[in-house]
Amino acid sequence: MISSVSVLLEICASDDPDYTTGYVASPLFGYVRLPHMKKQGLRRGGRLYVISPETRIPDLLTFLRSTPVLFDRQSPVNHLRTHPRLTAIPSLNETFSPEGPWL
């Protein structure tokens, strides 16, 4: 829900056991799909919202419950590797390998 000014970052993994692609979204770099975010067959999933400290929770909940959002394009994954305001941590690259760890 990066269309809300309160949400700084959203990470999502589907609870559908056959859908392994998730996404990360932020006003900083847009919407980026993450293939193989979880192992095939897992029913666990969910969303994580990082919100601004000034956020009024009742207003945000109203927005999340009642505002439809349509993604009309996807940011390229390579864009994240070169974004001037992001710092890469090479040792974390293995965290997202096909071998795991998984949700």
Residue with tokens 């990066």: 2
Domain ranges across the chain? 7-96
In the DSSP assignment, the letter for residue 95 is: G
Tell me the backbone φ, ψ of residue 78, rounded to 5 degrees. Answer: -60, -25
What is the tens place of the pLDDT at every residue in 27-50? 887 888 888 888 899 999 998 989
pLDDT at 87 exceeding the cut of 80: no
Span 71-82, pLDDT tens digits:
676 666 555 555
**If pLDDT is split at 50, 70 and 90, which confidence band does 5 have?**
confident
Q: What percent of the chain has pLDDT over 70?
A: 65
Q: How many Å apart are CA 54 and CA 71, to the nearest integer?
A: 26
Calculate mean pLDDT across residues 51-58.
Answer: 90
Neighbours of 75 (CB within 10 A): 18
pLDDT of 95 over the 50 cut? no
DSSP state of 59: H
